[in-house]
A and B are shown apart, each in its own frame.
Chain A
């Protein structure tokens, strides 16, 4: 493999690894903050124990999320120097702002939260957790503003052999960025909700600390339900934005070859990029693609054949990932609705099949988050900045394939060990459960 391909593999690998931990951080930070707020409001010790138990799992996960984030910042310069040089005038700003506005907040208040139990008031302590959650979410916002600019570049001019910023407001208020932000953080909230429900289900199955885990389950179920419905709505808006700004990605997401009006969605299809057609397609729902793309059953949707071959994204990974994401999204709505109903009726303990299902559902939102990013990033290819710069022009000139091989292998081993240690610790502390109630 040449340095370009290796750099791409490395970026994909490190980004995907990073994004195992980030969505859980997003979700758990908010859930833990909610639990601690309930403790401050009610004075009920169970909420305090909940805060501490889920908070501990949050911390184990947080550590890896943070350190793997530094890799991402380093990598733009290391492997993508030409990119950094060409768009740094625009792209660097959100990253720097992310550090100043979000990382400081998140890291500083996390220290306060971990060690401040006896040093500050209860209210101040809960406030610290909200600051951590705010920091995590703001960090997602700024990174997604940066990413959205790569998807749909706005507010720039090409000048002095590079892209230069000329309208900052257009960059930060880009609808693409905000839709992507809500879509992504809600995905994180779902990851957090299903994680809490899954671990709680495990303990309810074992009849372990029932009150504690049923309460945890209920909070997560309500949160998960709101977010799974919300993400579907935002997802619809987001798809319309993609159809408008990135027609080639939209066409690949649905494997649509012919530009057509009243474009259908096929329930079953498989792309054959070689022959510019689908290997098979059946069960069409007429007009649905037109409607989902443009809000009109008769609207014209661009097909891949109208996009030059060398500007088409790889079709099958985009197509398959998109299908999987939508499929999983639907499952999340069903599961969290059931979860909500059962915990409301207080009949969870009797629904053992459901609890088992929820335990095994823990990985599903993680998968949905990963395939979502595959749609976003592979669907943008061959562009690194859509319509402006090709990925092949972005790679560092001075870096050899030998160097990238070395770092790639290094990351592989290093991240492998981190994953094993982190997941085993998460599993260990999840299984162990909270500290037993204090008997007065």
Chain B
């Protein structure tokens, strides 16, 4: 069966929403993982958290939208994905809950142990989603053991070498992304440490990325689509070029390096999406049971309505979110955190 144009559009949007989510929340999650290590005292920890303060919540809505869009456009995929991956999604959910409240709660009591507790919550609440989203996507790239009887795996099935490698790749991508973010948004010693860290972490990311590209060849069928339509190779090539550029730019402009890192993340996700098509969740045992953009989608009528909604509202969202980034484009300083007229976490 051929996909209709709206199924194509929504397959693309599905990928785009995830890609934008990882690009934006990527530096949030990365900074959440980094903050106990990169910051030397409470002031610096607060500085890290306050670089995220105005934007993290808006970033996370891209996840909710990606989930909602999956529900609306591919309800069967949504239903099976969430019920098959019950336990890992539950763990991600708990992590996101604890992380979400910790930003608000951390500064609400003047107690060392209170703050330490919430610092740990921010760390674990950032690390788990970063790692497990990677593991989940690795497994989706590989395919899940699905047949007529349903799903044949559990959380340990997901923790296979390729899944774990993808998880590590995500964590490394986000750590470099976050170091670059802090290289721009922090001030003083913290900024210098972030810049050094970005340079140190980058080679590790490069090694993991190369391993990932090679392992993908053996573990998945993603490359089949690229050989069938070689124009698609532009995407992984761009991913690699952007990754290299992010390092080159570290010598001239950390802003440029950060943008390059954004492109890297987008292109890594799109590489996976291009390779998956038309599958959203391929079956690793019998392709007849793969969930595709064709067999798991909503009706054309629903997809049309959703397309109109997205065409109107996503540009509006982009406009005010970009405006927000502009309003808060100045680096976070120590004085600002202790300024009683302004708010800070």
- Residues of chain A having any CB pair with chain B under 8 Å: 59-60, 62-64, 66-68, 70-71, 73-74, 76-79, 81-85, 87-93, 95-101, 103-105, 107-112, 114-120, 159-160, 164-166, 168, 396-399, 403, 406-407, 410, 414, 418, 421-422, 425, 428-429
A108 to B75, CA, bound (A): 27
User: Are A88 and B79 neighbours in the complex by a CB distance under 8 Å?
Assistant: yes
| B residues 310-332 touching A (CB-CB < 8 Å) | 310, 313-314, 317, 320-321, 324, 327-328
Q: Which of B62-70, B170-178, B201-209, B246-254 contacts A (4 or more CB under 8 A)?
A: B62-70
| A65: min CB distance to chain B, Å | 10
**Known contacts A70-B93, A97-B309, A107-B58: A84-B301 contact under CB 8 Å:** no
Tell me if B157 is interfacial: C-beta within 8 Å of chain A. Answer: no
User: Are A414 and B97 neighbours in the complex by a CB distance under 8 Å?
Assistant: yes
Tell me if B164 is interfacial: C-beta within 8 Å of chain A. Answer: no
Chain A residues closer than 8 Å to B80, beta-carbon distance? 81, 85, 398
20 A-B pairs in the complex with CB atoms less than 8 angstroms apart: A66-B100, A70-B96, A70-B97, A73-B67, A76-B78, A78-B86, A79-B83, A91-B71, A91-B75, A96-B71, A100-B309, A104-B320, A108-B58, A111-B57, A114-B53, A116-B54, A406-B87, A406-B90, A414-B94, A428-B108
Tell me if B299 is interfacial: C-beta within 8 Å of chain A. Answer: yes
User: Are A403 and B86 neighbours in the complex by a CB distance under 8 Å?
Assistant: yes
Chain B residues closer than 8 Å to A399, beta-carbon distance? 83, 86
User: Are A410 and B305 neighbours in the complex by a CB distance under 8 Å?
Assistant: no
User: Are A88 and B343 neighbours in the complex by a CB distance under 8 Å?
Assistant: no
A429 to B328, CA, bound (A): 28
User: Are A60 and B108 neighbours in the complex by a CB distance under 8 Å?
Assistant: yes
Nearest B residue (CB) for A75: B82
A70 to B93, CA, bound (A): 8
**Known contacts A88-B71, A88-B79, A168-B305: A119-B328 contact under CB 8 Å:** yes
Q: Which of A60, A73, A107 contacts B104 (CB 8 A)?
A: A60
Chain A residues closer than 8 Å to B108, beta-carbon distance? 60, 425, 428-429
| B residues 155-206 touching A (CB-CB < 8 Å) | none
A163 to B326, CA, bound (A): 44
A399 to B80, CA, bound (A): 10
A186 to B341, CA, bound (A): 33
| A70: min CB distance to chain B, Å | 6
Nearest A residue (CB) for B343: A114
User: Are B341 and A84 neighbours in the complex by a CB distance under 8 Å?
Assistant: no
**Known contacts A84-B75, A90-B302, A93-B305: A108-B320 contact under CB 8 Å:** yes
Lowest 10 CB-CB distances: which A-B pairs, in order? A88-B75, A77-B82, A92-B72, A92-B71, A96-B68, A96-B72, A108-B58, A63-B104, A81-B79, A81-B83
Nearest B residue (CB) for A157: B299
Tell me if B306 is interfacial: C-beta within 8 Å of chain A. Answer: yes
**Known contacts A88-B78, A96-B306: A59-B83 contact under CB 8 Å:** no
Tell me if B101 is interfacial: C-beta within 8 Å of chain A. Answer: yes
Chain A residues closer than 8 Å to B328, beta-carbon distance? 111, 115-116, 119
Interface size class of B (residues with CB under 8 A): 35 or more
**Known contacts A88-B75, A115-B344: A120-B327 contact under CB 8 Å:** yes
User: Are A104 and B53 neighbours in the complex by a CB distance under 8 Å?
Assistant: no
| A401: min CB distance to chain B, Å | 12
User: Are A93 and B82 neighbours in the complex by a CB distance under 8 Å?
Assistant: no
Residue interface mask B23-59, A partner, CB < 8 A = 1? 0000000000000000000000000001001111110
A87 to B320, CA, bound (A): 33
Q: Which of A87, A410, A429 contacts B94 (CB 8 A)?
A: A410
**Known contacts A90-B302, A104-B65: A425-B75 contact under CB 8 Å:** no
Q: Which of A63, A96, A117, A398 contacts B341 (CB 8 A)?
A: A117
Query: A111-B324, A112-B327 known; 8 other A-B pairs, CB under 8 Å?
Result: A71-B97, A74-B90, A81-B83, A82-B79, A84-B75, A95-B68, A104-B61, A104-B65
